[in-house]
Each structure stands twice: as C-alpha cells, then as structure tokens.
Amino acid sequence: MARVAAVQMASGPNVSANLLEAARLIGMATDEGADLIVLPENFAMIGMSETDKIELKEQAGDGPIQDFLSQQAVKQGVWLVGGTLPLVTENENKIRAASLLFDDKGQQQARYDKIHLFDVSLNEGQDNYEESLTIEPGDEVVVVDTPFGKLGLGVCYDLRFPELFRCMLDRGVEILVLPSAFTAITGRAHWEVLVRARAIENLCYVIAAAQGGYHVNGRETHGDSMVVDPWGVVLDRLQGGSGVVSVEIDREKLVSTRRAFPAISHRKLSCKM
C-alpha cells in the first residue's frame, strides 16, 4: 500500500508566491501520509501572456524551480512529480513543457516533455489557445519504475489521445500521473469522463492534479483533481479551490483486477511508438 496525493492550486504570475503555496500544499499532503505527490501543470507560473514562460525557462538540471522540487522532495521525504516547468530548447523563442519526477533523495528520476499541444479555439472564438507558438513538443513516451509501481507521465491535453497511454501500457504502466490545467469549458464537458476512461481502458490508477480557480490573467481553470482506481472508481476528488486529494492505492488490487478482467491480454493491436 502507498498513499498518493494530487495538489490543486490556482497559480498566478508571481513565481515566489506560487512556490510558497506549492510548498504549503506539499506539506499538507505529507502530513496526510503521502508517499508520492503530483503538482499541477504550470504550478510555478501562469503568466499574463503565453510568452511569459519563456523568460522563466531553465537549463535541464539547473534552476531555481528544479532546485525547489528537489529540496521539497528531500525535506518531506517523498517522491514528487513537478507538474510542468519550462526548460530550454535550441529555439530560444520556445520552451519544453517538462514534467519532472524526483525521488525522496532529491534526485531526478524521469523527465517527460508534453507531446500534444493545446491549439484550439473555444467559446465561438472568444478563447483562443496556441501552445505551439511558445512550446516545442516532446516525442518520447516515459514510463519509470518507482517503489509504488510503474509510473507513466502525461500532461493535460495528452489526456485526449488514448494511443499515448496504450504505448505506456505496452511498457507495463500501472499508475498514470496527469498534471493539468484544463479550461473551465472543456473541463466541465470532458475532464472526468476522460480521466476515468484512461483508468478503465488501461486498468490502472490515475492521479490527476489540476489547476483550479480564477487566475490573475482572467483565465478560469476547471480543477476537480482526483485519484481514480483501475475499475474507474473516483477514490477522492477536490472540485474547487486550493487543496490536496490524498488516498491509498493498492498495487495488489491492480494486479487482481487485471487478472480477473483480462481485457489487456485481449488486445489485438500494439503500439509501435
């Protein structure tokens, strides 16, 4: 048995304030006994414009946000998924939206760069998003061994692309982590359905940590952070406001569910990615 936690917050343009809030919520999750904690997408900053993140970019392995994550993991004695943060690319006008996993010794154990970028128009064209203007997509599926099981890393818009998670399944994934910042519009329509679907079809746990609330730039994110079990049951959730979702997960339950309901072994197609 292990206890996992999803952090929910509403980040703004002040990095220091966001890190203080993240530290408070990480501490809250630790007080509840969490062994693995997941922060939401863009936990360190949601700026006034999409280009603000470029000014915040860090070299891989070196920078104050990465230092914060490493130090928090050591201080609290937990494994920590650092939502996403901006890392440099060869294109100085773009960043990689990287999700980093740190172990309880403060060592980075995995990096996943967001593959699917949110280029959409909502609300009859009143809300436009074009992540590809500032983000360079990743191209690597990441599944890593942890004390809690095989952990697959995805981010937000990735949730809509089940083939990514099938590729993870081919690599033995048991727990999906999904730092996110779903919009209020898309979240109300699709968030819970998609999170539960990924758990059901892959017979795995899903830890979905979301931005939730109103942001200084006028944006509203959906929230509803949750942990879902391999049968699609929502074990706990936080629909609004800042806080923590914390539950125990049982790898033996996952194994027995897959054994009793062997849909995975019935697959006819496999991922070639």
Which residues participate in catalysis according to the annotation?
A: 41, 114, 156
Run of H or E including 211: none
Strands 127-130 and 143-146: unpaired
* 195 three-state secondary structure: helix
3-class SS of residue 47: coil
> Minimal CA–CA distance to 82: which of 36, 126, 138, 120?
36
The whole-angstrom separation of Cα 234 and Cα 46 is 28
| Cα 241 to Cα 263: distance, rounded to the nearest angstrom | 37
Kindly provide the b/e burial profile for residues 196-216, where b requires at least 16 CB atoms within 10 angstroms of the residue's own CB. bbbbbebbbbbbbbbbbbebe
Whether residue 107 contacts residue 82, with contact meaning beta carbons closer than 8 Å, is answered with no
Listed in sequence order, the residues at least 6 apart from 84 whose beta carbon sits closer than 8 Å to its beta carbon are 41, 42, 43, 97, 98, 99, 114, 155, 179
Strand residues in 46-133 grouped as ranges (E): 79-81, 85-88, 95-102, 108-113, 119-122, 127-130
Residue 39 is given by DSSP the state: P
Side chain identity, residue 247: V
